[in-house]
Amino acid sequence: MKTLVAVAVVACAGLARGVVVEVDGRANIFGAGYMVAPDPGGGGGGVLPPLIPLSAGQGNVVQVTSVTGTVSAGFGFAFHGGDGGTSASGTTDVLSWGGISGLIHANRTLFLTGVFLGPASPSNPAPSRLNVTNSNNETEFWPLLAQTFFIGDGYNATGVPQRFNIPHGATRLYLGFVDAFDFGNPTSYPGHYSDNQGRLQATVVVVPAPAGVFAGLGLMCTMGRRRRD
């Protein structure tokens, strides 16, 4: 089920603009920049992740100020919010694919994930995979282009808003999930998005550069989906 998204909300006119993005539980983050959601690991590629165009060179930090809704890895698995759950293996260890890096998390599955891209299509080799196990204890992140990163609910464990620094050359941000059979236990390629259920709504804000230049944030969201909790 493809979902089109998109309602803009201006917060602090002249300082930042937010967009509310609907992220289907089947949104395949490895489909970022592609026309078809990939399925190298089998089990269904889900749907393409929603896209948020960025005004190149104007905003330097993304913040996700609200994440609502719930998702599940499939029938029989519990529903949970953006920070993920402990379904299936209870861990995430998914390999890179198509120039987009995989991701590692020692104790969470099906959490909200982001990836920045420039104007060009992703291509191999992908950046190194991040181990995001301790992301809930951190407030500042510097992902590379095509390097997936943990977003969760946008706040750390003590309720401090997290900041995702936009890498040089980024013109697009995608939101979705990292999935695989048993969430990659043992390490495996992305897949098994088709049985995922539910959706999240994320409010994304681009914070302007220190010079105070307005950080424009375009709006065009296409949707995604996928696998078991």
* Distances from the Cα of 214 to the Cα of 10, 16, 116, 199, angstroms: 12, 6, 20, 30
Measured CA to CA, the distance from residue 191 to residue 106 in angstroms comes to 19
For position 57, what pLDDT does the model report? Answer: 57
Residues 41 and 36: their CA atoms lie apart, in Å, by 15
Burial class (CB in 10 A: 0-12, 13-18, 19+), 12: exposed
Cβ–Cβ under 8 Å, residues 155 and 161: yes
Residue 9, pLDDT score: 32
Q: What percent of the chain has pLDDT over 70?
A: 82
Spatial contact of 67 and 200, defined as CB atoms under 8 Å apart? yes
Greatest Cα-to-Cα distance within the chain, rounded to the nearest angstrom: 50
pLDDT at residue 98, as a whole number:
97
Tens digit of pLDDT for each residue in 132-178? 999 999 999 999 999 999 999 999 999 999 999 999 999 999 999 99
Q: What's the pLDDT score for residue 211? A: 52
Q: How far apart are CA 20 and CA 39, in angstroms?
A: 27
What pLDDT does 56 receive? Answer: 63
Q: Domain-by-domain residue ranges, the chain?
A: 47-208
Q: Are 4 and 223 in contact (CB under 8 A)?
A: yes
Which of these ranges, 59-63, 114-118, 156-160, 176-180, has the smallest mean pLDDT? 59-63
| pLDDT band with cut points at 50, 70 and 90 for residue 208 | confident
d(CA 72, CA 15): 36
